[in-house]
Structure 1
Amino acid sequence: MATGSITSLGIGSGLDLQDILDQLKGVDESRITAKENKKIQFQNQVDAYNTVNAKLFSIKSDALNLSLSSNFLDNSVSVTDEDILSATVGDGYDASSYSVDVTQKAQRNSWASTGVSSRTEAMFAEPESGITDHDTMAAISQDKTLTLNYGTYEGISTENSIAAGTTDATFAINGVNIGAVVISDNDSDDTLVNAINAKSDEHGVTASVDEDGMLTLMSADHSDIEVTMEGETLDVFGGTGNMINTGQEQIDISLTAGMTFSEIADKINTSSSNKDANGNQLVNASFTRGDDGDYYIRLSAISGGNTADSEINVAGLDAAGEFEWLAADKTVAIAQNEATMYLSVPPGTTYEEMANLINSSEDNPGITAAMIDNGDSTNPYQFTLTSDDTGEDARISLSNLAGLAEVTGAEGESLNAEFAVNGILYSRQSNTSIDDVITGVTFDLKNTGESTLNIEVNHDTVKEDIMSMIEGFNDIISYIKGTETDEEAADTEDTTKEDTDNPLDGSSSANRIVYQLKSLLTTVLDLDTGYTSLSNIGLEISSNGTFSMDEDALDEAIASDPDSLKELFLGNTDKEITGLADIINNAVTDMVSSTGIAETEIDEAESKITRIDKDIETETQRLTKKYETMAKEFARLDTYISQLNSQAGALTSMIDAFSKANEK
């Protein structure tokens, strides 16, 4: 604090007027110093009660933990055979035991080709045309119509509904005899469909019938389907026997004898039927030279392919001598669950290239293709497909991709994990993170076999909370009484020498807090158990009023009767008895509330500090003005005395001069 000073004061008079002014000021400022000291005392009280509140909150936290029933069910899990399964468990569950019998682990679906001699062997063959010059050598010897089907392959369907009747003995699909089948209207009992599908492995076709009785036949490799039918079969197939391609647009190209590959490609590309409704070309034809040196016509989708609606099929391609020099990019569909990846694969694509196409596709649903070396001396390389995930949802289905056989999951073998828990059978997609079978437990299946899973309860957390709460009571009582150890005081806050006096000494409010805390710890509940108070589980009170917990006695109490321990802290709802944890928690909640003892004392002390600050400010302003005025008055006094001194000096000089003159 400064009220102003004039450091040159007294020079004129020769008097130490500044020291006189400072001494007077010091007497007046002593009243401000007394107020500042009082403010420090109140601030120390605020800090002390804030510390008390912090310590009360620590007790409240422990009591709150002890009021939660889940904390008395701190769980661990063990398994009798860790080679069979591993498990984790949350907290809050009763001790229990489960028998687990793993009969099958979840598997990844896999497919494999037969062995080939080289990774670069063609997986999709190129036509052998015998044409070595695409500009001069004739590709056809007579006029023909080339029919292309473009778009999503949906097989062929009857024009009319299936009618009741019996098919002829000669009824066949792709040359495979189906024979006489007695059929009802719309094939309502699937007799016809089942008869056809029973021989799918032979003729490569699957059948289905819709709700209107329309029969649809689909080829596994999307090739032409030949249906052999006579009179009675025609009647069954709706009277006409006609089957139409409903999903693809038909493109007819008229070719004349003697045309070369260059001319055929140009004819296809410029055909008016090779356009969509907007006049855009659909199929591109180009002459391509194969690895054997022969040329052939390659058909590809102008759109770039890799979609279901860009598939190209050539009608009559498999007929003897029909368009053997022609090959369309094959649209391969690889599906998993509800996701399908479509790939337009050019003729001549090798096994290794096909693997790269699959693995790099943006639409890959979760399948890895690879070329493996099986060690065979002649044909060591196999093309494989493996699902990235396990389980039936990851099963792979193939369309228009021949030459692969299913390995894991073949013939309908389940890909799911199969196991029993306490005799109840379960099936899951994965071997890991199974969390919906045993409540609170997550387990992983590691091998087949039997194991027992045990959920165990431990009370380490409860013991820690009890010990911590008792330590918290002692800590706050010692702090209020000023009997903290040096270590405890250092943990509380840094104190200067002038702050070492206990700010709560003699405080009736602080003593009331101590009394309430001691009453809480000695509470006795009206329970019909072995534990009705903390003294029953090891609480001891020393002669100096501090508390301690006999850890061995506490361990014994927990081990011998954990249910009584739980009831001591949680109470008994049936008998409407509040547990000790809630009693302590509720009481401490009141103590730290805005109307609690500590907060009330803090508010009162802060109000006093505010008043003292205002008094100090007012007194400082008054003294500043007072001593500014006195400094000016002392300055005038200094000037006046200086003038008097000057006059006295002049008078003295005159008298001296007069005296010297008379002496002469």
Structure 2
Amino acid sequence: MSVGSISTLGVGSGLELQSILDDLRGVDERQRLAPLENNIGRLESQLEAFSVLQNKLLDMRGYARDLSLETTFLARSVTSSAENVLTAIVGDGAGVQTNTIEVERLATRSSWQSEGFASRDALLEFEPEQSPKFEYQFGAGESQTTISLELEEGITLAQLADRINSQDNPGVTASIVDTGVAGTPYRLVLRANEVGENNRITIGAEPGVTNLGFSEQQGADGASLNAQISIDGIVYQRQSNTIGDIFPGVSLTLQNPGTSTLSVTDKTDDLRDLVVGLVEAYNEVVQSVAAQVRYDEESGQPGVLAHTTVQGLRYELQDLMTSMMQGDDSGKVGSLFDLGMEFQRDGSITLDTLALDRMLAEEGEAVRAFFLGDDQRQAPGFADRLHERLGGIASWGGILDVEKNTAQERVRDLEDRLASEKERLDRRYAVLTRQFVDLDRYMSQMTNMSSYLESQFDSLSSLLAPKKK
């Protein structure tokens, strides 16, 4: 029931007054309110389309931003031709290079073993009238330290091992091993906890002890405990089998003696994904623009963004994507066409990924120069230019932002006008409703008067009619 309707309107007069009132209001609403509501609906659809397009452009800008970063082109991968000889890990920014590495010797742990004993609890034997002790040195050069343990009668082989381990020794572990030798299988073994010459154990004579008889195992006869490798005829020794100070950004882990070719190359997978992502994001934008500006033959209406700056956006983006840039003097990569890009008739782009992979592998520096430019030559990069222009279109304060603000202001203005029109119609039909109520009441009175007069005339006629004889 419309504003101002009364459920009993027309009962008194017998006329369809409420229906007439509703029809009149319906005509006014179609003429005065519907155009405003339609315009508001179209603008709201336009705002939604602007937001969708803006998000797609920002996605595209994100790819352009990543392609404009120096760090994107610093990613590296490393391979070893013989991983049983050495493996490697590489950090971003390491130099692209290939080297043949000969692993001549692995770093090893210093170790000593005693003579054999019949059991773990065999007693140590001492010379008479001596103050027996067990001494060993750990380390090399100025950092070498001496550990001296006082011994007493009745100490066993196992107890000596425990005493060595319980001392504040700098990096030695003592253990009893069963060698399986008949009769005397048990030996006391000292091992350095870490490899390399800086962890060498040295054992001299055991004063007063007659049955230990230590002999050096790894490192015996002056054999080096350090790793040794040869690169291009240059010999390197290191304390560890993990070496990270020969090639900046590359850490080697030696596995076995042998020869391996180490190759550090550009890591192209991430870069490839960014280029592919940029093209896909561009296609998303172009398809979205085409859908929003296209004329709809069924409805006879243009797209919601047809009469906005978006109309020419796809042509501007095409110009950007086909930009010619000279990042370096080689001229091998001057546009995305050199990376396998092809334009289609509908404005979309296809990408020959095989051509892209080949250029990334063979012309990495030229690709880098194309996207980043050259500051020394004051040559701008493609990615920077694209990122900046997309910011001017899609970011805060950009072209789309201005269009959205304008549309929002128009929506607010139309909503105010719509509210005013509704109030005006409410007032008008409140007056009409009262007038129709008065009309209904008047018509009811007239009907009642007519009925009364008719009954009076009927009575009078009966009185005046001649009587039958």
Shorter-chain TM-score above 0.5 = yes
Decide whether aligned partners of structure 1 residues 14 and 97 sit closer, same or farther in structure 2, where only a CA change above 3 A counts. same
Q: Which moved more, 1:445-454 or 1:65-74?
A: 65-74
Corresponding position of 2:305 = 504
Corresponding position of 1:479 = 288
Pairs within 5 Å for 1:115-194:
121=121
Number of equivalenced pairs = 440
Decide whether aligned partners of structure 1 residues 59 and 499 sit closer, same or farther in structure 2, where only a CA change above 3 A counts. farther
Decide whether aligned partners of structure 1 residues 369 and 41 sit closer, same or farther in structure 2, where only a CA change above 3 A counts. farther
Note if contact 1:371-1:381 (Cα within 8 Å) is conserved in structure 2. Answer: yes
Structure 2 counterpart SS, 1:221: strand
2: CA distance, partners of 1:658 / 1:376: 155
1: CA distance, partners of 2:135 / 2:169: 26
Structure 1 counterpart SS, 2:76: strand
The answer as to 2:19 corresponding to 1:19 is yes
Measure how far apart 1:469 and its partner are: 3.1
C-alpha RMSD of the superposition: 5.0
1: CA distance, partners of 2:239 / 2:339: 47
Measure how far apart 1:595 and its partner are: 3.6
Corresponding position of 1:220 = 148
Instruction: Write the letter of the residue equivalent to 2:420.
Output: T
Pairs within 5 Å for 1:645-660:
645-659=447-461
Decide whether aligned partners of structure 1 residues 47 and 368 sit closer, same or farther in structure 2, where only a CA change above 3 A counts. farther
Decide whether aligned partners of structure 1 residues 406 and 99 sit closer, same or farther in structure 2, where only a CA change above 3 A counts. farther
Corresponding position of 1:519 = 319
Q: Which moved more, 1:42-51 or 1:604-613?
A: 42-51
Structure 1 counterpart SS, 2:149: coil
Corresponding position of 1:79 = 80
Pairs within 5 Å for 1:431-580:
431=241, 434-457=243-266, 459-482=268-291, 502-507=303-308, 509-525=309-325, 528-531=329-332, 532-542=334-344, 545-551=347-353, 554=356, 561-580=363-382
Note if contact 1:591-1:597 (Cα within 8 Å) is conserved in structure 2. Answer: yes
Structure 2 counterpart SS, 1:523: coil
2: CA distance, partners of 1:48 / 1:603: 13
Structure 1 counterpart SS, 2:252: strand
Q: 1:54-83: CA deviations, max 9, x gaps? A: 232233233333334554455322212111
Measure how far apart 1:460 and its partner are: 4.7
The answer as to 2:410 corresponding to 1:608 is yes
Larger Rg: 1
The answer as to 2:50 corresponding to 1:49 is yes
Pairs within 5 Å for 1:108-507:
121=121, 220-222=148-150, 373-376=178-181, 378=183, 417-421=227-231, 423-429=234-240, 431=241, 434-457=243-266, 459-482=268-291, 502-507=303-308
Q: 1:186-244: CA deviations, max 9, x gaps? A: xxxxxxxxxxxxxxxx765799xxxxxxxxxx993346xxxxxxxxxxxxxxxxxxxxx
1: CA distance, partners of 2:390 / 2:187: 74
Structure 1 counterpart SS, 2:305: coil
Decide whether aligned partners of structure 1 residues 559 and 89 sit closer, same or farther in structure 2, where only a CA change above 3 A counts. closer
Structure 2 counterpart SS, 1:78: strand
Note if contact 1:5-1:631 (Cα within 8 Å) is conserved in structure 2. Answer: yes
Structure 1 counterpart SS, 2:248: coil
Note if contact 1:111-1:405 (Cα within 8 Å) is conserved in structure 2. Answer: yes
Scaled by the length of structure 1, the TM-score of the pair is: 0.53
**Tell me, which stretches of 5 or more residues in structure 2 are unaligned?**
138-145, 204-208
Note if contact 1:391-1:417 (Cα within 8 Å) is conserved in structure 2. Answer: yes
Measure how far apart 1:109 and its partner are: 6.4
Measure how far apart 1:653 and its partner are: 4.3
Query: Higher helix share goes to which structure?
Result: 2
1: CA distance, partners of 2:112 / 2:360: 59
Decide whether aligned partners of structure 1 residues 391 and 529 sit closer, same or farther in structure 2, where only a CA change above 3 A counts. closer
Decide whether aligned partners of structure 1 residues 27 and 113 sit closer, same or farther in structure 2, where only a CA change above 3 A counts. farther
Measure how far apart 1:455 and its partner are: 1.0
2: CA distance, partners of 1:368 / 1:631: 106
Scaled by the length of structure 2, the TM-score of the pair is: 0.71
2: CA distance, partners of 1:477 / 1:460: 26
2: CA distance, partners of 1:645 / 1:427: 121
Note if contact 1:86-1:443 (Cα within 8 Å) is conserved in structure 2. Answer: yes
Decide whether aligned partners of structure 1 residues 15 and 382 sit closer, same or farther in structure 2, where only a CA change above 3 A counts. farther
2: CA distance, partners of 1:440 / 1:37: 64
Corresponding position of 2:140 = none
Note if contact 1:418-1:428 (Cα within 8 Å) is conserved in structure 2. Answer: no
Q: Find 2:383's aligned residue among 581, 590, 593.
A: 581
Decide whether aligned partners of structure 1 residues 573 and 410 sit closer, same or farther in structure 2, where only a CA change above 3 A counts. closer
Note if contact 1:71-1:92 (Cα within 8 Å) is conserved in structure 2. Answer: no
Note if contact 1:522-1:534 (Cα within 8 Å) is conserved in structure 2. Answer: yes
Q: 1:266-288: CA deviations, max 9, x gaps? A: xxxxxxxxxxxxxxxxxxxxxxx
1: CA distance, partners of 2:176 / 2:147: 27
Instruction: Write the letter of the residue equivalent to 2:149.
Output: D
Decide whether aligned partners of structure 1 residues 498 and 543 sit closer, same or farther in structure 2, where only a CA change above 3 A counts. closer
Corresponding position of 1:280 = none
1: CA distance, partners of 2:450 / 2:280: 83
Instruction: Write the letter of the residue equivalent to 1:29.
Output: E
Measure how far apart 1:108 and its partner are: 5.7
Measure how far apart 1:576 and its partner are: 1.9
Q: Percent identity?
A: 30
